[in-house]
Structure 1
Amino acid sequence: MSLSLFKTLSTAVLITLGVLVAQAAQARDTFYMLPFRDVLALPEAQSRLDPSIRLYFGNQLHPEIITRRGGYYIDRKTNSVFKSDEGACRWVALSALINLQERARAVGANAVVNIASYYNQRENVDNENYECHAGNVVAGVALKGDMVTISN
């Protein structure tokens, strides 16, 4: 077999494997509504979330808004191989919350209010739960919220 033919066949096999893996990743899309409290209870949440930037989920009451600093949307995915769906969902939800806080800090806000799931740009407002979708190899969470400065 010539080197050129070997390279062509190798490329074809790799492309076929890539297509099969991509199809397998899309083959499952399990919908979950999971509690934010489980995410906030993670040891990583205790060490990585900034207590100076408060988070208010859904329609939760919050102190008076002094300044609005705009809305923000984050769509996060994580590898879920060798993880339970719920474990992967908690991890990716934490990543999204951290990103919301980073955005708040960047725009000078001290809180994120009206945090809602926004998977596939479909809003799902819940004071206690977030939406997560788990596939064969990927789990995803999308959140949106309003960056604000609130009174203490």
Structure 2
Amino acid sequence: MKKQLLLAASALAMLTQVAHARTEVMTYPIQPVLQSQQFAPGVALYFGSQAHPAVVSSLGEVTKSSHPARKTATEVEICNATLADALRQLASAAHDRGANAVINIKTWFHSTESNDVNNYTCGVSGVSAALRVSGELVTVEAAK
């Protein structure tokens, strides 16, 4: 009897871990993150094919990622925090290299990619969230 209880408890623990480990690919709007965060000063962010001032020079493409623990956050809260962290890294890289913009920003989780102007892709499970962002670091013409 004791052995059966131990096996049942072990099976339940494994099922709980599997349920928490399942990762879902989610899509959420970018604007709430952009409106609630401050990124590197003087660095503009342009997603996908979003219109931007003329490029004066390119400093190359950069990829950054974020993978925070979920704790008690909802799916949208942890995905928004994950995007904010990755964008902060991307904008800081641009600032450090003398760029004033990042263009053609795309997001992805594993093989699911988004270069959408309005939405981003995030992988989220019961224990964490993850995504990658990439974009081209550039100097753009100043607004006249």
The question of a shared fold, defined as TM-score above 0.5 by the shorter chain, is answered with yes
Secondary structure of the 1:102 match is helix
Query: Given the alignment of the two structures, is residue 52 of structure 1 paired with residue 42 of structure 2, yes or no?
Result: yes
Kept in 2, the 8 Å contact 1:117–1:142? The answer is yes
Residue 95 of structure 2: which of 92, 105, 130 is its match? 105
Residue 136 of structure 1: which of 122, 126, 136 is its match? 126
Residue 34 of structure 1: which of 28, 39, 43 is its match? 28
What are structure 1's unaligned runs of at least 5 residues? 1-15
How many pairs align?
130
Kept in 2, the 8 Å contact 1:25–1:138? The answer is no
- Among the aligned pairs, what percent are the same residue? 28
What are structure 2's unaligned runs of at least 5 residues? 1-9
Normalization by structure 2: what TM-score?
0.82
Normalization by structure 1: what TM-score?
0.78
Q: Distance in 1 between matches of 2:127 and 2:104?
A: 30
Q: Distance in 1 between matches of 2:140 and 2:47?
A: 15
Aligned to 1:72: 62
Deviant stretches of 4+, over 4 Å: 20-25
Residue 123 of structure 1: which of 88, 108, 113 is its match? 113
Secondary structure of the 2:40 match is coil
User: How far does residue 98 in structure 1 lie from its aligned partner after superposition?
Assistant: 0.5
Q: CA RMSD in A?
A: 2.0
